[in-house]
Structure 1
Amino acid sequence: MEKEKEFASQVQHIDERGRNIVLASETDSAKVKKFQGKNPTTGLYALIARNQDLVFCLPLVGAIFGAIAATPLTVRFGRKWVVIFVYALSYGGTFLQTFAPVLGAFVVGRFFNSIMIAIGTTISYLYLSEIVPAKYRGFAVTTSNVFNLISGVIATVVCIATYTRNGSSAFQIPLGAQAIMPTILIPLTLLVPESPLWLLSKGREEEAHRNLKKLRAYGDVLVNDELRVMKLALQQERELTAGVKVTDLFAKGNRTRTFVATSMYSVNQVSGVILSTTYATVFLTALGVGNPFQLTIAASCCTLAGTLVAPLLVDRIGRRTIAIAGMSVLPVIDFIAGGLAFHADKPSFGLGIAALSFIFNAFWAASFYSLSVTLPTELPTARLRNMTTSYSLAAAYTTAVITTFAVPQLVSADAANLGAKTYLVFGGCVVLILIFYFLFLPETAGRTFAEIDEVYEQKVPVRKWKKYKTSAATRQAVVVADSKIVNT
């Protein structure tokens, strides 16, 4: 019974993506009452649905604000110094979470840090894509996702090492550990040069040349050539985006491309993965199968495995094939896990649900997760590409807020009390999503932006994209563009 009370009084912290779990026990009942509510069935203190919404959902609203704020901040102040600034400010949010006297202060700390993390994440991807040579850019950006998932595994290991401690240190140590990475990254970031592309946009060409030379191992001739190409690209981007409005995303001829390009980042939230990522430890604790902390590590490793496999498959197999095949597996897992939930009181059935959730993570990461960051950059026409990417992030955060709010209301004992049966709801959602992508998702693997534009203009059915041959004029334009890139 004491062990049950200990688990019931756990306080959970999730980072901005909801995947780095920090769970801690508090044995002092007076302090527990500040962070928890009572389970109406058992009378024990537990992380009730309302508190889960506060802890998990509100910080995602902060992430929306952070994503919106990132663009004007980086346009005005650059990439490097904004990132350093948010690293420094994150100490305040970490301090408030670690020493929060009540749940409200804890949530405010998470909300503030979510804003900082969203700003830093948005700008860091942009900075990385600008300073890495073109031939390594895709690998570099994809690898950053891998490191993000590894950090989730490390966070869970820290929790395993502290959750059995007595007193406040059980959760204060993992929460305070959030300050370690900014402490390491601030001095490292001070050493890296500002983005040459941003410097060019501000007319600081001499500085841009100096910084690009620091980033490249070749001589002045090639540096000058790359800088010239940057200037041309910057000029073309300004010409393309001049006068672009948000409503252009939904104008005739663009709306289908916009919906398909931005949807996957949003709809992957309603696939069921939230149960085995954001709510993994709470979900596994409710099932009562094994050590929830160790199982959370297994879940994170499965997600990491799928993420590592994805870059090897996206170009070889194709976007549409991966999406349809991966999404066909997910509802099957959802329905089986949901069916087993009717007998979740039996240990073997509970363990089966946990195992299925881990398999789900791997397929989700290899299909939904990998394509979510690929489609927004491939499908839009050139003049709407940047705006489409921003809209995609905003839509994704909005869906995440809705889903994160809804799940506790479905799962928790003090709400709908569906538990793992919630997988059945998600299974139905994935079936609808699968139908949508079967009808509208084209195969873009191996296609240049010019070819994608032509195929859309010709209104070729998505099932025929793979075999469609673009016009000689488009192919010739691609050859000319490629030759220019090789020459520079």
Structure 2
Amino acid sequence: MSDNKDLESTAVQRDNMSEEHDAVYEEKAGVADYKADAIEAENAEHNMTVIEAVKEYPMASLWAFVFSCTIIMESYCVFLIGSFMALPAFYNRFGINCDANGEHCTVAAKWQSSLQVSGQLGALIGVMIAGPITSKIGYRWAFIGGLMLLNVFIFAFYFAESMPVIFASQILEGIPWGIFIANAPAYCSEIVPIQLRAPATQMLQMFWAIGSIIVGAVTYVYSDTPGKEAYKIPIALQWMFPTPLAILIFIAPESPWWLVRKGKFDKAAKSVERLGRKSKTNTTETVAMMRRVIEMEKSSHRPSHLELFKGTDLRRTLIVCGVYAAQNLTGNLIANQAVYFFKQAGIETELAFGLGLITSALQMIFVMLSWILTTYFGRRPIYLWGSAANTILLIALGVAGSVPNTTSAKLAQASLGLIVSVLFTLGPAPASWVIIGETSAIRLRPLTTGAGRAAYYIVEFPCIFLASYMLNPDQANLRGKCGYVWGATGFLCLVTAYYQLPEMKNRSYREIDILFKRKVPARKWTKTEVDINDDE
């Protein structure tokens, strides 16, 4: 009787071992199957041309365009506040040191600086909450929530009748801006194939320019209007954007990478179908490629801000933060305060607003040119050469500001200020968006882009106060000589980028992960090969 029981027990153990062996075999076979599909999808993306990628993923390009439109709102208000400093109706209403007729006032330097940073203070809050919120509810609902909040906060700005209330309203508006600016590059980089990552993310810079064009046109029209309509109507025009964009984003597909991170493979496949042409897109292979990368980055912990500063992710975080921060140190602030800069350089009000509008229009054109340059020549060379040219021009601006203040000197300063503002959008600025979208790990992307933008604002705050102090006639009144300061900081950023910024052109997210894990020096990325079968 005992022998029979032993025999039965042995048979059961053999059956269990057999089942376990079958399960392990099936799991290995399943991994092998999806890895094979992943390799096929990655090879297909590498072999695509830019034109083929556009034809195969037409809707991905469209949705990247829609989500990029949210950047208009931050751009619009940033440039609006800068233009208000040079708008007679605004500075006569809120300024000090007016003449006997109560005109030709000057907005106090402390309020110039405070209003310039107010929106960014709110945006700093927004970018820090964007990552955790997006990781939990997805890109679509994070954007929609931000747009609805913005609709409400615009009311505070419109009805503000004092500087403190304007300051507070800008902080409130800044919170949704932070959500948009943190998530837009991440979403755009995730929904397109390798060959379209550059133009898809660089659209963000184009919409930044579009926001400034709208502001330039509106303030130019109202530059001679004496009443409060001159600044109330431009404020009210902000309501043009949030609701239509919220409707479009509601019907947009979620990022398939986010869905794969959540284990929603069927929904990820449907999202891929909506982004590409069903007849050409192999959704199974594409989702398998995403699964492969997600498995490589898999962790037992939930994504957290603390992870951004550990291991190889620290290097990736520092690159994103550095590229973002450098935007404030290589000519961006002159672009944001273009109209005020032109006025302080000695240009008349109407011409200053006209030059501001021309600057914004040229910026949009140069951003589109940068799509071609960054797509075909890479991110690193465009960023480095653009930064070097900007540094030289900023020093030249300082020289122009150092000579006697003649008409020729004023025109030289205005011209160099315009060139710096425009050239910034051909090289460093648009290349930055591509680098930001590609550098972070997929798992930590919402958190990394948020932390990077936070670094941008943290650096921007003292820079704005410094810029306002340098340009304000009641303070340093440096005019074009501010070019020496920004030229020096720009040179430091250039040297740092040369040693730390890798080239990620034509690299899949799997290859980028592996190169970071191998700690390959930035200057050797283009010469380092990654085998298609490697998983690390």
What is the TM-score when the length of structure 2 is the normalising length? 0.73
Residue 284 of structure 1: aligned partner: 342
Sort the Cα spacing of 1:417 and 1:259 in 2 relative to 1 into closer, same or farther, 3 A: same
The one of 250, 258, 261 aligned to 1:190: 250
Alpha-carbon deviations, 1:169-189, whole Å to 9, x = none?
111111100101124323333
Residue 8 of structure 2: aligned partner: none
How do 1:303-342 residues align onto structure 2 when only pairs under 5 Å count?
303-342=363-402
The one of 473, 476, 479 aligned to 1:419: 479
Conserved? CA contact 1:19–1:152, under 8 Å? yes
2:490 paired with 1:430: yes
| Equivalent position amino acid for 2:248 in 1 | L
Post-superposition offset of 1:349: 1.0
Sort the Cα spacing of 1:241 and 1:142 in 2 relative to 1 into closer, same or farther, 3 A: farther
Alpha-carbon deviations, 1:162-210, whole Å to 9, x = none?
2222311111111100101124323333333444554555566665555
Post-superposition offset of 1:284: 1.0
2:356 paired with 1:296: yes
Q: Which moved more, 1:398-407 or 1:133-142?
A: 133-142
2:332 paired with 1:273: yes
The one of 450, 468, 471 aligned to 1:408: 468
Residue 477 of structure 1: aligned partner: 533
Post-superposition offset of 1:244: 6.6
Post-superposition offset of 1:109: 1.6
Q: Secondary structure at the match of 1:416?
A: coil
Sort the Cα spacing of 1:241 and 1:445 in 2 relative to 1 into closer, same or farther, 3 A: farther
Alpha-carbon deviations, 1:95-134, whole Å to 9, x = none?
2222211111112221111111221333344444444456
CA distance in 1, matches of 2:365, 2:309: 36
| Equivalent position amino acid for 1:396 in 2 | Y
Sort the Cα spacing of 1:461 and 1:123 in 2 relative to 1 into closer, same or farther, 3 A: closer
Q: Secondary structure at the match of 2:424?
A: helix
Residue 172 of structure 1: aligned partner: 232
Conserved? CA contact 1:16–1:59, under 8 Å? no
Residue 484 of structure 1: aligned partner: none
2:155 paired with 1:119: no
| Equivalent position amino acid for 1:369 in 2 | A
Q: Which moved more, 1:226-235 or 1:109-118?
A: 226-235
What is the TM-score when the length of structure 1 is the normalising length? 0.80
Runs of at least 5 residues in structure 2 that lack an aligned partner in the other structure: 1-72
Sort the Cα spacing of 1:243 and 1:202 in 2 relative to 1 into closer, same or farther, 3 A: closer
Q: Secondary structure at the match of 1:373?
A: helix
Sort the Cα spacing of 1:415 and 1:389 in 2 relative to 1 into closer, same or farther, 3 A: same
How do 1:74-473 residues align onto structure 2 when only pairs under 5 Å count?
74-132=134-192, 136-195=196-255, 197-198=257-258, 213-218=273-278, 222-227=282-287, 229-230=289-290, 233-237=293-297, 239-240=298-299, 242=301, 249-250=308-309, 258-275=317-334, 277-290=335-348, 291-343=351-403, 345-379=405-439, 387-446=447-506, 463=523, 466=526, 468-470=527-529
Conserved? CA contact 1:39–1:414, under 8 Å? no
Q: Give the RMSD, CA atoms, in angstroms.
A: 3.7
Runs of at least 5 residues in structure 1 that lack an aligned partner in the other structure: 1-12, 482-488
Q: Which moved more, 1:222-231 or 1:321-330?
A: 222-231
| Equivalent position amino acid for 1:58 in 2 | S
CA distance in 2, matches of 1:305, 1:450: 33
2:110 paired with 1:50: yes
| Equivalent position amino acid for 2:423 in 1 | F
Conserved? CA contact 2:122–2:174, under 8 Å? yes
Sort the Cα spacing of 1:53 and 1:311 in 2 relative to 1 into closer, same or farther, 3 A: same
